């Protein structure tokens, strides 16, 4: 049985195959109504549980639509409404759900919840975001980059802002897909050192540059995300924003990147905070392609999980 828990724990060949599958199924669906089924129906007669301990628009809708296109059915569950939120163990929840459903996608706070779910479930488990990582997002982002600019291998990706969960999965992807990665942000919000060291061991350049203008030089892709993630305390907002202001992505900063550099944001964005409207709506921005590609990338991830 195959879970999809993280990019760094999935073999590079498998990741590449998922991107190829996503591209092919996206192409095959061109012009079809959104509710029309895929030709191969890889989730025919399958039931998929989508568990959310945190809010979501894209993850929730893209998984739900994706499962239906693949011929399966979904149960969208709020963690707080389940016994999981009232003291039942994760292990028992995993065992019970495995009797009813064929796959589980979970968005959770602690990474440990995801890992325990995967350990005790007898069906595939997919990571729909934890405080530490967001691998489905970055699979969609790789697909998006390559659609616009060709292979990401050897390119320079710059993350500007908070070294958060989405940033962590980009660092994992750097090692697995073979691109260089520069983190531009304040020291207090650096990504986990272990993640950066692991990527370096895989032969890619991973750098930290406090000066945003220097960091953006020669970049092929600029990425940012909210300055206050769902797991961050509101009380830290002012301190974080004061540290992060020099890393706001605006037109001036984008001018230091390569002329054909792309801009990505996983969304939801806080326009005027981590990024300006001029960049969000500007010519480098591919934010809505990224959002669409959540659907195609996750369908490939689910197919990989059921077929392996």
Q: How far apart are CA 294 and CA 308, in angstroms?
A: 21
Q: Is 226 in the site for ligand CP (CB under 6 A)?
A: no
Q: Is 166 in the site for ligand NVA (CB under 6 A)?
A: yes
Choosing among ligand NVA, ligand CP, none, which partner's interface includes residue 225 (Cβ < 5 to 8 Å by kind)?
A: ligand NVA
Bridge partners of 285?
A: 263
Question: Which one among 10, 21, 25, 59 touches ligand CP, defined by CB under 6 A?
Answer: 59
From 154, 218, 212, 210, select the one nearest 180 (Cα to Cα): 154
From 245, 232, 115, 214, select the one nearest 165 (Cα to Cα): 232
Q: Is 113 in the site for ligand CP (CB under 6 A)?
A: no
**Cβ neighbours of 230 (radius 10 Å):** 14
* Residue with Cβ nearer ligand NVA (226 or 285): 226
Tell me whether residue 73 is annotated as binding. Answer: no
Is residue 287 reached through a cis peptide bond, with omega within 30 degrees of 0 on the bond before it?
A: no
Q: How far apart are CA 140 and CA 189, in angstroms?
A: 24
Q: How far apart are CA 49 and CA 62, in angstroms?
A: 13
CB of 197 to ligand CP, least distance (A): 26
Tell me whether residue 127 is annotated as binding. Answer: no
Q: How far apart are CA 294 and CA 137, in angstroms?
A: 6
Site size toward ligand CP, by CB under 6 A: 9
Question: Which pair of tokens denotes residue 276?
Answer: 């300006």
Query: Residue 11 phi/psi, 5° resolution?
Result: -65, 140
Q: Is 267 in the site for ligand CP (CB under 6 A)?
A: yes
Per DSSP, helices labelled H in the chain are 12-29, 58-69, 90-100, 111-120, 135-149, 165-177, 193-201, 212-216, 237-244, 251-254, 277-280, 287-307
How big, in percent rounded to 5, are the helix, strand and coil portions of the chain? 45, 15, 40
CB of 232 to ligand NVA, least distance (A): 8
Q: Is 265 in the site for ligand CP (CB under 6 A)?
A: no
Q: How far apart are CA 235 and CA 238, in angstroms?
A: 7
- Tell me how far CA of residue 14 lies from CA of 3, 20, 28, 297, in angstroms: 12, 10, 21, 13
Question: Which one among 230, 246, 256, 289 touches ligand NVA, defined by CB under 6 A?
Answer: 230
Question: Which one among 21, 98, 133, 137 touches ligand CP, defined by CB under 6 A?
Answer: 137
Q: Is 56 in the site for ligand CP (CB under 6 A)?
A: yes
Question: Which one among 53, 141, 225, 290 touches ligand NVA, defined by CB under 6 A?
Answer: 225
225 as an active site residue: the answer is: yes
167 as an active site residue: the answer is: no
* Residue with Cβ nearer ligand NVA (93 or 133): 133
Q: Give the angle 31-33-38 at the CA atoms, nearest 5°.
A: 85
Q: Which stretch binds ligand CP (CB under 6 A): 55-63, 93-101, 108-116, 249-257?
A: 55-63
Question: Which one among 226, 276, 285, 298 touches ligand NVA, defined by CB under 6 A?
Answer: 226
73 as an active site residue: the answer is: no
Q: Is 76 in the site for ligand NVA (CB under 6 A)?
A: no
Q: Is 293 in the site for ligand NVA (CB under 6 A)?
A: no
Q: Is 164 in the site for ligand NVA (CB under 6 A)?
A: yes
Choosing from 29, 120, 134, 265, which is the catalytic residue?
Answer: 134
Interface residues with ligand NVA (CB under 6 A) are 129, 164-166, 225-226, 229-230, 266
Residues tagged active-site: 107, 134, 137, 225, 266, 294
Known binding residues for L-ornithine:
165, 225, 229-230
Interface residues with ligand CP (CB under 6 A) are 56-59, 129, 137, 266-268
């Amino acid at each position: 049985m195959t879970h999809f828990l993280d990019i760094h724990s999935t073999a590079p060949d498998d990741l590449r195959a998922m991107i190829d599958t996503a591209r092919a199924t996206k192409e095959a669906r061109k012009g079809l109504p959104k509710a029309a089924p895929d030709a191969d129906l890889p989730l025919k007669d399958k039931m998929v549980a989508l568990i959310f301990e945190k809010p979501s628009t894209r993850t929730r809708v893209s998984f739900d639509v994706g499962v239906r296109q693949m011929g399966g059915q979904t149960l969208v569950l709020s963690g707080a409404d389940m016994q999981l939120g009232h003291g039942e163990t994760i292990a028992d929840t995993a065992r019970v759900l495995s009797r009813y459903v064929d796959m589980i996608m979970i968005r959770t706070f602690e990474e440990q919840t995801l890992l325990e779910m995967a350990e005790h479930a007898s069906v595939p488990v997919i990571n729909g975001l934890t405080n530490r990582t967001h691998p489905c997002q970055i699979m969609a982002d790789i697909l998006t980059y390559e659609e616009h600019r060709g292979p990401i291998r050897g390119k320079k990706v710059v993350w500007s802002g908070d070294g958060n969960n989405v940033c962590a999965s980009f660092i994992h992807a750097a090692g697995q897909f073979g691109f260089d990665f520069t983190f531009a942000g304040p020291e207090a919000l650096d990504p986990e050192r272990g993640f950066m060291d692991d990527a370096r061991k895989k032969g890619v350049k991973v750098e930290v540059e406090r000066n945003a203008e220097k960091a953006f030089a020669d970049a092929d892709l600029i990425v940012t995300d909210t300055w206050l993630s769902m797991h961050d305390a509101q009380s830290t907002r002012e301190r974080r924003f004061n540290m992060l202001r020099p890393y706001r992505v605006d037109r001036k900063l984008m001018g230091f990147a390569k002329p054909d550099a792309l801009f990505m944001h996983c969304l939801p964005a806080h326009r005027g905070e981590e990024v300006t409207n001029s960049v969000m709506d500007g010519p480098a921005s591919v934010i809505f392609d990224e959002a669409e590609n959540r659907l195609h990338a996750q369908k490939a991830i689910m197919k990989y999980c059921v077929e392996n």
